[in-house]
Amino acid sequence: SQTIHQWPATLVQPVGSPLSLECTVEGTSNPNLYWYRQAAGRGLQLLFYSVGIGQISSEVPQNLSASRPQDRQFILSSKKLLLSDSGFYLCAWAGTANSPLHFGNGTRLTVT
């Protein structure tokens, strides 16, 4: 069966510090991968998605970036965090187009 791992679970970082969140998927090949952010009490905002190694689509202009160095690895990064980057970051995978998303447990990021 397929599993998705996301870490760390919680993170507290000062403004201006770098960020790296990692997500890996097991049990499937060539998944579509996604990063979402959920601000407190809000819906999910799509940040990036990838349909293959090295292929990244950005949905929202911001100081975040994403990379997919391996088929089942998706990384979210920032060089300098802003207070507004605080939120619940969720990685998800889907088997094909039109398939449902399956989420990791999320990373709760607080920028202080």
For residue 105, the minimal CB distance to other proteins (Å) is 6
Least distance (Å) from other proteins to the CB of residue 16? 27
How many angstroms separate the CA atoms of 105 and 81, rounded? 22
| Cβ distance to other proteins smaller for residue 89 or 111 | 89
How far, CA to CA in Å, does 67 sit from each of 39, 55, 59, 71, 83?
A: 22, 8, 14, 11, 22
Q: Residue 3's closest CA among 103, 108, 106?
A: 103
Residue found under tokens 């097991």: 26
Task: State which residue, 11 or 51, has the beta carbon closest to other proteins.
Answer: 51
DSSP assignment letter at 101: P
Question: Judged by CB, which is closer to other proteins: 66, or 90?
Answer: 90
Closest approach of Cβ 22 to other proteins, in Å? 16
Q: Which residue do the tokens 């998705």 mark?
A: 4
Min CB(19)–other proteins separation in Å: 19
Residue type, 38: Q
57/112 with CB nearer other proteins: 57
Binding site for other proteins (CB under 8 A): 32, 34, 36, 42-44, 46, 49, 51, 57, 59, 90, 94, 96-106
